[in-house]
Amino acid sequence: MNKRGIPYVWGGTSDRGYDCSGLMLRAYEKAGIDLPRTAREQYGAFSRKISWKDLEPGDLVFFSNLGHVGMISKPGYMVHAPHSGDVVKEEKLSSWRRQAFVGAVRPDRKGVRQWAERLEQRREPIPASLTATL
């Protein structure tokens, strides 16, 4: 909440400016939880999803085909970095936001660790014995 008023900067992760996922990245970093960088990756890092009716402060909420993320600040409100030309702010969850809602997660260290392990497994080279030849 103390980042309110800082300008939106695409790709921003510092007090010079934040984008939506950069703001979440730094907020959870302060809580000792390392999140992935982008909104899509942040959503994918957790298998347990939270429904609209079960949102609690601290939950990450995702909108518009995972193109935007905010954090529930209190019931019915979120804090986020909206878009270019705007600033980090708290906003009431509107009916428009409800329609654009994709899902939510409640970040924890275990979930992020499992996501990182799966990602690392995907980066490992395919064994030569499994390579097809034509």
**How far does the chain reach from its first CA to its final CA, in angstroms?**
58
Short-list 57, 83, 73, CA closest to 2 = 73
What is the set of active-site residues?
A: 20, 68, 80
Largest CA distance in the chain: 59
- Cα–Cα distance measured from residue 48 to residue 93, given in angstroms and rounded to the nearest whole number: 22
- What are the residues whose beta carbons fall under 8 Å from the beta carbon of 57, sequence distance 6 or more? 72, 73, 74, 75
Token pair for 46: 């957790």
Token pair for 74: 């209190």
